[in-house]
């Protein structure tokens, strides 16, 4: 009898220890002994060679023209979304409504919306995860999708092409961005860690990502939080979304378990020889933007896009056609 009792206690204790270990293993932080420098001790992929975020150096990118990215259901209002403070960020999930889908660009197949979330810092000089030319932005939006053919987000994380993240950088503007007003005013409802709220008639994804989406950087990388799975095709838009300082302040009012959540971005990771591509659209404004061609970039033959081999000649030819047409018209 006593033997049976002791056995039950031992089983219960080992269950408790396993639960504590599990909870411990799932926790991480952005500072101290659980900070990014230690993630690799629990999650071996966090010290892999295809990690995110990265610093994108525009001089070193390969300019390509990929098939057009297609944003399906981005124009439809979402009936019901759940906003959740998970102690690391605020996450938005769709409860009822059309699921946004993304395809085209560097992607093979259809990718279905899983969740979106944000990264920010304690002031407007930092907060983004990815950087451009070593410059930080005050905030970054990650819209996470999984490859629909894998059936679920979990299954997709087991495959190198399982996920894609549409990443948008924010810039501070004097005026507030009206399409974000309703959203940021909801954030105090999830001020406490592990709290959730429901929002009905949420703005469209087109409203949330209102910027020029023609030019974007793309590279193979990872989740930027543990377990840092190297299964993400990153699509980082070149143009920023404007938000006022006061709108960004709403995010800084959220709490984690230690107080105000003021720092939830991972430092940039080494490239280890990865190629970053800049996809441009053949529109006038993109052609005459400040992008520069990298002469050292080696042409890729991956069948995913048309490599523009001599960008300068191409520019001159387009400009000449423009001059001829404008003379005919006048
Ligand atoms: Zn993220």
How remote is the CA of residue 269 from the centroid of ligand 1, in Å? 14
The domains found in the chain, sorted by start residue, are 29-324 (3.10.200.10)
How remote is the CA of residue 185 from the centroid of ligand 1, in Å? 21
The pLDDT value recorded for residue 27 is 82
Phi, psi of 166 (to 5 degrees): -85, 120
Q: Do residues 322 and 329 make contact, with C-beta atoms less than 8 angstroms apart?
A: no
The pLDDT value recorded for residue 14 is 47
Point out the catalytic residue in the list 88, 96, 117, 119: 88
Measure the CA–CA gap between 296 and 294, rounded to whole angstroms.
5
Phi, psi of 111 (to 5 degrees): -120, 130
| Token pair recorded at residue 54 | 């990265």
In the structure, ligand 1 is a single-atom ion and the residues with CB under 5 Å from it are: 142, 224
**pTM to 2 decimals?**
0.80
| Token pair recorded at residue 9 | 């206690």
| Token pair recorded at residue 111 | 């990718």
Burial class (CB in 10 A: 0-12, 13-18, 19+), 256: buried
Q: Is 117 a catalytic residue?
A: no
How remote is the CA of residue 225 from the centroid of ligand 1, in Å? 7
How remote is the CA of residue 321 from the centroid of ligand 1, in Å? 43
Contacts of 241 (CB under 8 A, 6+ apart): 141, 168, 169, 170, 171, 177, 209, 210, 211
How remote is the CA of residue 142 from the centroid of ligand 1, in Å? 5
For residue 189, the SS3 value is helix
How remote is the CA of residue 36 from the centroid of ligand 1, in Å? 14
Measure the CA–CA gap between 239 and 237, rounded to whole angstroms.
6
**DSSP strands (E only) in 37-133:** 55-56, 62-65, 69-72, 78-85, 90-96, 101-104, 111-120, 131-132
Q: Where are the alpha helices (DSSP H) in 236-310?
A: 245-252, 284-287
How remote is the CA of residue 16 from the centroid of ligand 1, in Å? 31
- Backbone torsion region of residue 114, taken as left when φ is above 0, otherwise alpha when ψ lies between -120 and 50, otherwise beta: alpha
Q: What is the pLDDT along the chain (330 residues), one digit of tens a residue?
A: 445 555 554 445 444 444 433 344 458 999 999 999 999 999 999 999 999 999 999 999 999 999 999 999 999 999 999 999 999 999 999 999 899 999 999 999 999 999 999 999 999 999 999 999 999 999 999 999 999 999 999 999 999 999 999 999 999 999 999 999 989 999 999 999 999 999 998 999 999 999 999 999 999 999 999 999 999 999 999 999 999 999 999 999 999 999 999 999 999 999 999 999 999 976 544 444 444 443 333 333 333 333 343 444 455 565 566 556 656 655
The pLDDT value recorded for residue 149 is 98
The pLDDT value recorded for residue 222 is 98
């Amino acid at each position: 009898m006593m033997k049976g009792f002791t056995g039950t206690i031992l089983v219960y204790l080992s269950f408790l220890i396993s639960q504590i270990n599990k909870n411990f293993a799932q926790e991480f932080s952005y500072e101290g002994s659980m900070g990014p420098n230690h993630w690799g001790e629990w999650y071996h992929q966090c010290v892999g060679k295809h990690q995110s975020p990265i610093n994108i150096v525009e001089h070193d990118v390969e300019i390509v023209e990929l098939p057009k990215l297609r944003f399906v259901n981005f124009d439809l209002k979402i009936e019901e979304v759940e906003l959740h403070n998970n102690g690391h960020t605020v996450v938005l999930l769709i409860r009822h409504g059309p699921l946004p889908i993304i395809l085209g660009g560097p992607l093979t197949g259809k990718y279905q919306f899983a969740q979106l979330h944000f990264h920010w810092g304690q002031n407007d000089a930092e907060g983004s995860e990815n950087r451009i030319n070593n410059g930080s932005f005050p905030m970054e939006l990650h819209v996470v999708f999984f490859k629909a053919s894998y059936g679920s987000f979990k299954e997709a994380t087991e495959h190198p092409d399982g996920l894609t993240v549409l990443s948008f950088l924010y810039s501070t503007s004097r005026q507030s961005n009206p399409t974000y007003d309703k959203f940021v005013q909801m954030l105090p409802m999830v001020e406490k860690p592990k709290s959730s709220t429901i929002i009905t008639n949420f703005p469209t994804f087109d409203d949330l990502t209102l910027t020029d989406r023609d030019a974007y950087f793309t590279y193979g990388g990872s989740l930027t939080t543990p377990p840092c799975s190297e299964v993400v095709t990153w699509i980082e838009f070149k143009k920023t979304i404007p938000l006022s300082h006061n709108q960004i302040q709403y995010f800084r009012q959220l709490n984690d378990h230690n107080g105000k959540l003021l720092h939830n971005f991972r430092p940039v990771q080494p490239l280890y020889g990865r190629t970053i591509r800049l996809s441009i659209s053949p529109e006038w404004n993109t052609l005459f933007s400040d992008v520069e061609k990298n002469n050292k970039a080696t042409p890729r033959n991956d069948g995913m896009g048309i490599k523009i081999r001599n960008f300068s000649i191409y520019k001159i030819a387009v400009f000449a056609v423009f001059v001829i047409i404008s003379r005919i018209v006048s």
